[in-house]
Amino acid sequence: MARTIKFRSSDGEVFDVEEAVAMESQTMKHVIEDDCADGGITLYNVTSDILVKVIEYCKKHVDAAVGSFIKALGGVDKDLESWDGEFVNVDLAIQVDISNASNSLNIEGLLDLTTRVIADNIRGRSHKRSVRSSTLKMSSRPRMRNGFGRRTPGRS
C-alpha cells in the first residue's frame, strides 16, 4: 500500500509522490517520519519544472534499487548509469537549479551526480564562461607562479 504525499512547488503546482520515492530525500524522510507530512509539503525554493525532474530521478532510482540485486553484489548498474548521463544532459542553468534543489532536499545521489557534472564543466577551463543567464566574468590566469595563481581582480 503505497502512501502518497503531496508536494507543492514554489509556484503552486501540486505533485503526488509515493512515500518511497519521497524518502530518497533525507530532509523529507525526517519530515515524514516525524508525521508532519499529512497536510502536504510546500517547497518554497523549488520551482515546478525542477521538482518534476527531481521526482523523476528519485522514482527511477527507487525502481532500479528494487528490481536489481546487482548493487547488492557490488557491481555497477550500467543501465542506470547511462540513464543518469542522459538525465543531466540539460542546460547548465537547469543543472544548477537541480543541484540547489538536491542540496536543500538532501538527495545524496542526485547531489553527487549534479556536482560532478558542474565540476566537469569547470575542470580544465581557463577562460570566460557564463553560468545561468547572467555572466560571471572570470579572468583566470593560466600562468602560475609556484603552482597556484595570484588572485586577480575580477572585471565586472
Nearest to other proteins of 85, 149 (CB atom): 149
Is the Cβ of residue 4 or residue 140 nearer to other proteins in the bound state?
Answer: 140
Size of the site for other proteins (CB under 8 A): 43
CB atoms within 10 A of CB 68: 14
Rounded Cα distance between 7 and 48, Å, is 10
Binding region for other proteins (CB under 8 A) out of 12-20, 25-33, 47-55, 139-147: 139-147
From CA 70, how far away is CA 143, in angstroms rounded? 47
Residue 152 cell numbers, joined: 586577480
Taking the complex as a whole, how short is the minimal distance between the CB of residue 6 and other proteins, in angstroms? 27
Interface with other proteins in residues 75-114 (CB under 8 A): 75-76, 93, 96-97, 99-100, 103, 111
Q: Taking Cα atoms as reference points, which of 126, 128, 102, 127 lies closest to residue 115?
A: 102
Find residue 7's DSSP bridge partners: 15, 41
The footprint of other proteins (CB under 8 A) covers 73-76, 93, 96-97, 99-100, 103, 111, 115-116, 118-119, 122-126, 131-132, 134-142, 144, 146-156
